[in-house]
Each structure stands twice: as C-alpha cells, then as structure tokens.
Structure 1
Amino acid sequence: MRANLLAKLSLTTVLSGLALCMAAQADQLDDVKARGKLIVGIKNDYVPFGFLTKEDELKGFEIDLAKYVAGKIVGSETEIELVPVVASNRIELLNAGRIDLILATLGVNKERAKVIDFTEEYYNMAGIVLLAPKESTIAKWEDVRGQKLCGMQGNLYNRTLTGTYGAQTVLLTGTADMFKAFQNGRCSAVAFDGPILQQKLSDPEWGAKYKIALDTFDYIPIAGGVRKNEPRFLEEVNKAILSAESAGLLVKAEETYDMGSSEYVTKRAADAKAAGH
C-alpha cells in the first residue's frame, strides 16, 4: 500500500514538474511584456533589409517591421533591442534565448521548421542571382560548373550551387567581406540574394563594371522565426505583422528603400486590410 502510494505521489510530482516546465516554456509573451522590451535579431549589413547609415542608424525594410512589432507587443517602437545576426548564427542565438524573434531575411524551409516556428510570411525573395563582370559570357546556371562563386555562409542555395551546378563556393560571414573578396579576385562572380545584388548595382561604380548575369532559379518566402512551443508569443507576432501589412507599412518600406513595388507585398497588404487586421 505504502509503495503504491509513493509511486502515485512520484508520478504526480513528475507530471506536475512537466506541466510547470511546459507552462514556463509557453510564457515567452509574459516574459517579454514584463521585461518591457522586445529583442530582435536583424541584419545590419544587408541593404535594403537592414543596414547602418553613415550616421550609424539602423534602417531597412525589416528594421521598420521590427519596430512596428515591438510597438504592438510592448507598447512602444523604441522599446526594442536590435541584435545583428548573420545567416549562420541567427537560429542558434534564437534557441539560446539571446533574442526573442528573428527578422533577418529568414527563408522558409522544412529543415528550419524542425527547430523553429515561422511567423506569417511577409516577403517573397528572388532566391539567388549571379552578379558578374559585364564581359562575362555566363549564359545559364550550368555554366558555373568549376567556377569559384562568392557567397554567404548559411545561404539555402549553397548546396544547390555545388551539388546541382558543380560550382566551388567561397563563403563569407558578411556582405562587406563577400563583396571585398569578389573585388579582390577570390571568385569570378557573386551568387547571392537578388534584392541585395540589384541594390548593389545602383551604385554607379558597380553598375559600370558589373551586371546580373543570371536570374534566379527559385523564389523563397521570407518570414520571421520564433522558438518552438511559444504559441501565445507567435500569435501576437503574427497579429502585429498582419497589422503592419494592413497599415501599408511594408508597401511604404519598399518605396522608401528603393526596392521597387512587388506584387507579393502589395497583394498581402490588400488581403490583410480586407480581412480587418
């Protein structure tokens, strides 16, 4: 009898402990509100999504979105900590608890969905394009076989470039290092996200020397990322993103940062407004 009672008490204790752990894991929203500040992982060298101006101000498409989300969740757009991340460390920092949310050109895929939860998708990026000297004769992706291409660590398409198309990749941790490596002759072309390379060509010096030799072979939806098992926090972030879209924030951001007017962002804005977000 006593042994049975102890066993029941032990089981009850274990179950209670598990329940408490699950409750603690699901209370990120309360923690963020109690802290009074939202901590967001962003890019700071990724024109036009997140970059430092000459005055050392962080600007960009996702910076505007991050501040709006902070305003909705903690009540003020200024109560935010923007933590610079790169493709190779952003998920690690999220799951380590260093940041609450990723808004850093995070492409949606099945592998990442195993370790984080994605927010509402808010952009559709030209997956990767090829920037090369104007005299380049590259005409199709198969032509990069055996060539050295500069790119970024953690990019979704690195494996496709090497596996499918047979290129050699020279992978850097930041865009400044990537462009410098290209100019220094470490690679014959740059394989990277379309909007960033298009933006680079708006610089007259780059536009005079280089071209987009190949357009993308894929498009990828961009979303935010949160830790697993945080349903209340995820719901609030999603509400904020939809509200930002409904208010036309991202349509305006495309205009502000010379991104062009994309059908994807415009349609999402119209749908969100029609749905009353």
Structure 2
Amino acid sequence: MIQNKVACLGLLVGAMVVFGPNMARADELQDIKSSGVLVVGVKADYPPFGYLSPTGASIGIEPDLARNLAQRLGVKVQFVPVVAANRIQFLQQGKINLLIATMNDTPEREKIVDIIHPNYYASGYNVMVPKTVKLTSWDALKGMPVCAIQGSFYNKDVGEKYGAELVAFTGVAEALTALQQGRCNAFLYDDTAIAGKLTDPTWKAYDMPLPTLGAVPWGMAVKNGEPAFAAFVSKASEDWEKTGYILSLETKYGIPHSAYAVQQHDKYKS
C-alpha cells in the first residue's frame, strides 16, 4: 500500500517536472468559450481605432476586430478601456483576455506578452496641413515652420533630414491651436491620429498629402503560455488580411487605405 502511494507520488512529481505549472492552469481559449465572454482591452480616446459613441459604447476599427473574433468563437464581447500605461499590465493581470489597442510590435514587448502575427496594422509619422499648402514631397518642408510635440522620436529626422523648422509644444491641443492660428504651416504627428482628426468636420480644410514614414507594425497580444488562443487569433488576423477586412474597416470609418493594409492584403490574398 505504501509502495503504491510512493509510486503515485513519484508519477505526480514527474508530471509536474515535465509539464510545469501550466498543468494546473486551464486553457484560456476553452475558458472563454465556457464563460461565453471575450474580454478585450481597447482604446477609448483614439478615433477611428478605438473610441466611445455618444451612448458610451466602444466603437472603431479595433472594437470591430474584437467583435469579429467573438463572433468566430460564438461568444459575447466585453470591452475594457485601456491606455498605453496600463494595457500590458491589464493583460498580464488577467483583467482582459486580449489586447487590441494601437500597440507597436517591439522586441521588448514580445518578451513579456505573446504578440500575434501577422500584425494587423501599422503606424508611422506624417504631417497635417491646410489644403492651401501644396506639399508634394517631404523635401518641401525645408525652412517651413512645423508644429511638433516635444520628445517625439521622429522630430530629429524631420528637422535634420528634411530641414523643417520645428516649433515644439508639450501637448497636441496646443500644437493644433497653433496650426489653426497660422503660427506653423504643418503639424507633425502619428499618421493614424491625423487620419482620425481628418474624419472630424472641424478639420475639413486640412489634409495629409505626404506618404507616411517610419511605419511600425501594430500587434494584438495575449498572455504568454496560451498557444491555442494565440493560434486562433493568428488565424483570424491572417483571414482579415486575405479577405481585405481591414481595408473595409478603413472605408467604414472614413480613412484612406494605408500602404501597410494594402501590402498585407496583396501578400495574403495570393
């Protein structure tokens, strides 16, 4: 009897060594299906990618992607607003199952969460100008006063490489006010944020005429150690690229097709 107990204990210890702590943890994909709810972290202040409707509902390109995933799983979707400072922590702490929140895919982040491939979007930097300012190339910024945000990594490139005269502000609202007042001829910022601004009638007299530079892919993320869930999201992302679903969402929310979305569709449809 004692020998049998010792043998069973040995088998249990051996299994723990082989399978590690994950042996006792349920699979998240199955947990989501069992609970009937997919909990997704999204932005609430970044139109058209993630923002709130007048009724307080989460809308935008990324909430629509989350709804598509929930539909594939046959579950409901629940949104949790996140910001850059807490989005990864919310995922690691289990407050959300999935993160779709304008997050750049970087080697540092890939060490702490499982970033899904293929990437679903990308952002870089660009300029917003009055339509009366005719820009045909980045070189045309030479000597031009350009509103910028202090500390943005692309300020140096635009100032040194293209000769723009940067007027740096601490906040976006200040920079946009200066642009409207004519204190600068252009506003240098993230291209996706500019695209969102241009959907607002307030900015109908402005445009983003230049090609985006410095594009970095965006990645959805799940917790490390969830291969089944990661594979499911990865397959969905590939389907989105193949079918042109991302392009259709750009059209739905009134922004031009990004070069990245077009390239990804061309790549995967073949």
Normalising by structure 2, report the TM-score: 0.72
Runs of 5+ unmatched residues, structure 2 = 1-5, 161-165
Which residue of 180, 194, 198 maps to 2:173?
180
Counterpart amino acid of residue 72 in structure 2? K
Q: Give the match for residue 261 of structure 1.
A: 257
Alignment of 1:231-242 (within 5 A): 231-242=227-238
Q: Give the match for residue 193 of structure 2.
A: 196
Q: Give the match for residue 40 of structure 2.
A: 40
Query: Aligned to 2:39, what secondary structure does the other structure show?
Result: strand
Query: Aligned to 2:22, what secondary structure does the other structure show?
Result: helix
Contact 1:69–1:241, Cα closer than 8 Å, also in 2: no
How far residue 140 of structure 1 moved from its aligned partner, in angstroms, is 8.2
Change over 3 Å in CA distance of 1:21–1:132 after alignment to 2: same
Query: Aligned to 1:105, what secondary structure does the other structure show?
Result: coil
Change over 3 Å in CA distance of 1:69–1:129 after alignment to 2: same
Q: Give the match for residue 59 of structure 2.
A: 59
Alignment of 1:124-135 (within 5 A): 124-131=121-128
Query: Aligned to 2:54, what secondary structure does the other structure show?
Result: coil
Contact 2:40–2:99, Cα closer than 8 Å, also in 1: yes
1:91 aligns with 2:91: no
Counterpart amino acid of residue 105 in structure 2? V
Change over 3 Å in CA distance of 1:117–1:190 after alignment to 2: farther
Deviations 1:35-90 (A, max 9, x none): 211111111221121222334332211121111111123x14xx011111112221
Q: Distance in 1 between matches of 2:83 and 2:266?
A: 32
Q: What percentage of residue pairs aligned between the two structures are identical?
A: 30
Number of residues of Structure 1 aligned to a counterpart in Structure 2:
251
Return 216-225 or 262-271, whichever deviates more: 262-271
Change over 3 Å in CA distance of 1:92–1:255 after alignment to 2: same
Contact 1:124–1:219, Cα closer than 8 Å, also in 2: no
Change over 3 Å in CA distance of 1:113–1:212 after alignment to 2: same
Change over 3 Å in CA distance of 1:19–1:80 after alignment to 2: same
Q: Distance in 2 between matches of 1:92 and 1:141?
A: 40
Query: Aligned to 1:56, what secondary structure does the other structure show?
Result: coil
Q: Distance in 2 between matches of 1:233 and 1:222?
A: 18
